[in-house]
Amino acid sequence: MIPELGHFALILAAMLAITQSFLPLWGAQRGDVRLMASGAPLAVAGFIAIGISFAALIWAYATNDTTVVNVVANSHSAKPMLFKITGTWGNHEGSMILWVLVLAGCSAAVAGFGGSLPSALQARVQAVMGMISLGFLAFILFTSNPFERIWPPPPDGQGLNPLLQDIGLAIHPPLLYLGYVGYAVTFAFAVAALIEGRVDAAWGRWVRPWSLAAWSFLTMGISIGSWWAYYELGWGGYWFWDPVENASLLPWLAGTALLHSAIVVEKREALKVWTVLLALLAFALSLLGTFLVRSGVLNSVHSFASDPARGIFILCLLGIYVAGAFALFAWRAPAMAPAGFFAPISREGGIVLNNLLLCSITAVVFVGTLYPLFLDLLTGQMISVGPPFFNAATAPLALPLVMAMAVGPMLAWKRAALWPVLQRLWWAACVALLAFILTLALAGWHVLSALGFACAFWLLAGAVADIADRAGVGRTSLRNAWNRARNLPRAAWGAAISHAGVGVTILGISGMGLATEKLVAVPPGGSTTFAGYEWRLEGVRDFVGPNFTARKATITVLRDGRVVHVMEPSKRYFPIGRTNTTEAAIRTSPAGDLYAVLGEERDGEAVLRLHNNPLAPWIWLGAGIMALGAAFSLSDRRIRIAAPARRRKDEAEAAA
């Protein structure tokens, strides 16, 4: 009964989405206030309906209801309860429900927070959100219905891919979807603005928090995915330039550009057309990511099923939304009057440079990701584009971006002089140079890593210099400067924190550039030296888990005869689904990770793969700091509700 209830709620949500797509839009065109006001309650109702549907699916998983095909294909009664629940979105159908749930949630949030939004804009945004929701609900109902039944029910399910039975999976997709779908909101705002033919500072003030929120979730989602790959796949790497990873990176790059250009719209009313274009682009790339991952065009751990019908359906959705939005853009964008002129050397100019470089990187990653697909389609030739390509093609673009990142925030709006800013940054340049020289002196001839360290310290010092400059350190007393720093707008702090976060991530990446690895066969009781430690294999034993059996090695890591850590890497065997997984053992410290993987056993010896990954944890910590910075900006009251509300009041008074 419960699955039918979920199915019914999903159909109901689709009906609500149809209404939401048309009524408010029609109302906005006709100026009918009652029709316009229908958008918000419809959005909330849709959210509730999809929520019921999602809860029903979780219920089916939690109770291991084997009459539901989806549960049979992806779950098993022996799975721990946590993974039964997270397994709900660990498969294609369930993850699509989560996708629309998040979308409806955003839609409801626009309705909830959007009290001060002009009603025509609110109505149009809701209508566009409704159209997106409708497309994906139709996709679920027609091609990937999770509530289909099977009779007679099989005795038990087939189990979930053991790689996905992990806490990382519990949080990675929801965060990623919050990011992807957050760009649906900025997309809806952009389309609504195109329909209205008007983009102003108030519009920028509305788009900015949404792009900030989406960006911060996407940052977290990507970094948790990367962290999951690092500890769960056991390859010792954190980013493989896998097409699926790139699919999430593309909207992130475009979204980062959008985040910055939205500031210019808000503050200076310039770059309007460009910002609208970026908003369309960020969501188009999110949809592309969904298509690549869900269609089975790419084969990886992410593509649960390859059903051509699904691929074609998503491709059609992609075509309709993207082509529709860009056609609207081509038709309406020329109507938007440019305003807010600025000199090339100015904050706006810096942001234009940022956008240019980010878009170039996006284009390079886009081409590298899709070229093999197109070549295969056109000529049948099989090629692959791997990490060397992406490293070689993106690093030269990332370097000027990083260099400009410390300078940009210190430039004045409208017209600025470069020289005084550089003077205030000279010590940061010294720190960066010192880092470069020290790396070469201590770690040997690793120019790229040394360059990376220089960039990292340049950004960290640049963030400090930015705040110090705003607080007036050196121009006023320290106490005074402290008070000024505390009273700086949160957005300024947020920018500095996020930029410093990028520096921290680059620090980790550069450290990983110095990583070393050793593959060695050791008998029990034997030991090997690596990375300045003695690694002693105490033994390998059998181990039984809730739904797997394992071989577990015990390795004692010693330094100068003292035990530093005991590591237990293992190889698990899952009888349901007959798969093996490798569980790496990781010892994390601020200086870096020691990472051990158990290979096969032969001739009484065990093959061990040992990694020394200097500074590795900072990669993900840096991403966390970036997201934190975004959250800080988001909490700035100035950019949230107060300003547009005040503005509207002023307008109302002026009209009266």
Partner 1 sequence: MTRKKRRLYILLLCAIGLGSATALTLTAFQDNLVFFRSPSDIVRETPPPGRAFRLGGLVEEGSVQRQGEYQGRPAIRFRVTDGAHAIPVVFTGVLPDLFREGQGVVTQGMMGEDGTFRAREVLARHDETYMPPEVADALKRSGHWNPAQGAAPPAANWNTLDPQRPPAGQRSGS
Q: Which of 64, 12, 86, 65 is nearest to 42 (CA)?
A: 12
Closer Cβ to partner 1, 171 or 397, answer by number: 397
> Does position 396 bind partner 1 by CB under 8 A?
yes
Residues β-bridged to residue 563:
558
Closer Cβ to partner 1, 81 or 337, answer by number: 337
Closer Cβ to partner 1, 384 or 487, answer by number: 384
Binding letters toward partner 1, positions 161-200, x by CB under 8 A: x-x-------------------------------------
Tell me how many residues contact partner 1 (CB under 8 A): 54
DSSP state of 90: S
> Does position 384 bind partner 1 by CB under 8 A?
yes
Q: How far is the CB of 48 from partner 1 (least distance, A)?
A: 36
Residue ranges of the alpha helices (H) in 412-566? 418-424, 426-443, 447-471, 478-486, 490-512
> Does position 59 bind partner 1 by CB under 8 A?
no
> Does position 336 bind partner 1 by CB under 8 A?
no
Q: How far is the CB of 609 from partner 1 (least distance, A)?
A: 5
Q: How far is the CB of 209 from partner 1 (least distance, A)?
A: 27
Closer Cβ to partner 1, 319 or 386, answer by number: 386
Q: How far is the CB of 73 from partner 1 (least distance, A)?
A: 13
CB under 8 A, 24+ apart: contacts of 644-653:
644/116, 644/117, 644/202, 644/205, 644/206, 645/116, 647/202, 648/116, 648/118, 648/202
Q: How far is the CB of 338 from partner 1 (least distance, A)?
A: 8
How would you write 401-426 as a 3-class SS string? HHHHHHHHHHCCCCCCCHHHHHHHCH
77, 16 contact by CB (below 8 A):
no
> Does position 382 bind partner 1 by CB under 8 A?
yes
Q: Which of 288, 357, 491, 506 binds partner 1 (CB under 8 A)?
A: 357
Residues β-bridged to residue 586:
595
414, 444 contact by CB (below 8 A):
no
Closer Cβ to partner 1, 299 or 480, answer by number: 299
DSSP string, 547-564: S-EEEEEEEEEEETTEEE
Q: How far is the CB of 274 from partner 1 (least distance, A)?
A: 9
- The enclosing H or E element of 543 equals strand 533-544
Closer Cβ to partner 1, 234 or 243, answer by number: 234
> Does position 141 bind partner 1 by CB under 8 A?
no
> Does position 521 bind partner 1 by CB under 8 A?
yes
> Which residues within the stretch 263-302 sit at the binding site for partner 1 (CB under 8 A)?
299-301
Closer Cβ to partner 1, 48 or 353, answer by number: 353
Q: Where does this chain touch partner 1 (CB under 8 A) — which range of 78-86, 94-102, 391-399, 451-459?
A: 391-399
> Does position 609 bind partner 1 by CB under 8 A?
yes
> Does position 359 bind partner 1 by CB under 8 A?
yes
> Does position 374 bind partner 1 by CB under 8 A?
no
| Neighbouring residues of 295: CB distance < 8 A, sequence distance ≥ 6 | 303, 306, 310, 311, 314, 315
Rounded CA separation 370/362 (Å): 12
Closer Cβ to partner 1, 522 or 634, answer by number: 522
Closer Cβ to partner 1, 87 or 234, answer by number: 234
Q: How far is the CB of 96 from partner 1 (least distance, A)?
A: 20
Q: What angle do CA 636, 204, 215 make, to 5 degrees?
A: 65
Q: What angle do CA 478, 476, 418 make, to 5 degrees?
A: 115
> Does position 352 bind partner 1 by CB under 8 A?
yes
Region of 595 please: left (phi>0), alpha (psi -120 to 50) or beta: beta
| Neighbouring residues of 336: CB distance < 8 A, sequence distance ≥ 6 | 197, 198, 199, 272, 273, 276
Closer Cβ to partner 1, 219 or 246, answer by number: 246
> Does position 44 bind partner 1 by CB under 8 A?
no
Rounded CA separation 465/406 (Å): 9
Region of 262 please: left (phi>0), alpha (psi -120 to 50) or beta: alpha
> Does position 363 bind partner 1 by CB under 8 A?
yes
Q: Give CA 622 to chain center in angstroms.
A: 14
Q: How far is the CB of 304 from partner 1 (least distance, A)?
A: 10
Taking residue 537's Cβ as centre, other Cβ atoms within 10 Å add up to 23
Rounded CA separation 122/115 (Å): 9
Rounded CA separation 288/283 (Å): 8
> Does position 22 bind partner 1 by CB under 8 A?
no
Q: Which of 12, 85, 109, 393 binds partner 1 (CB under 8 A)?
A: 393
The structure tokens listed for 26 are 């029609």
> Does position 528 bind partner 1 by CB under 8 A?
no
Q: How far is the CB of 299 from partner 1 (least distance, A)?
A: 7
Rounded CA separation 180/498 (Å): 20
Rounded CA separation 459/466 (Å): 10
The structure tokens listed for 624 are 């966390």
Taking residue 228's Cβ as centre, other Cβ atoms within 10 Å add up to 20
Closer Cβ to partner 1, 71 or 357, answer by number: 357
Taking residue 423's Cβ as centre, other Cβ atoms within 10 Å add up to 10
Q: Which of 195, 213, 192, 221 is nearest to 255 (CA)?
A: 213
Q: Where does this chain touch partner 1 (CB under 8 A) — which range of 124-132, 430-438, 538-546, 592-600?
A: 592-600
Q: Which of 214, 280, 502, 520 binds partner 1 (CB under 8 A)?
A: 520
Closer Cβ to partner 1, 337 or 591, answer by number: 337
> Does position 383 bind partner 1 by CB under 8 A?
yes
Binding letters toward partner 1, positions 84-113, x by CB under 8 A: ------------------------------
- In one-letter notation, the amino acid at residue 299 is N
Q: Where does this chain touch partner 1 (CB under 8 A) — which range of 218-226, 322-330, 363-371, 641-649?
A: 363-371
Q: Give the residues lining the site for partner 1 (CB under 8 A).
A: 161, 163, 233-235, 299-301, 338, 341-344, 352-353, 356-357, 359-361, 363-364, 367-368, 371, 381-386, 388-390, 392-393, 396-397, 519-521, 571, 578-582, 597, 599-600, 602-603, 607, 609
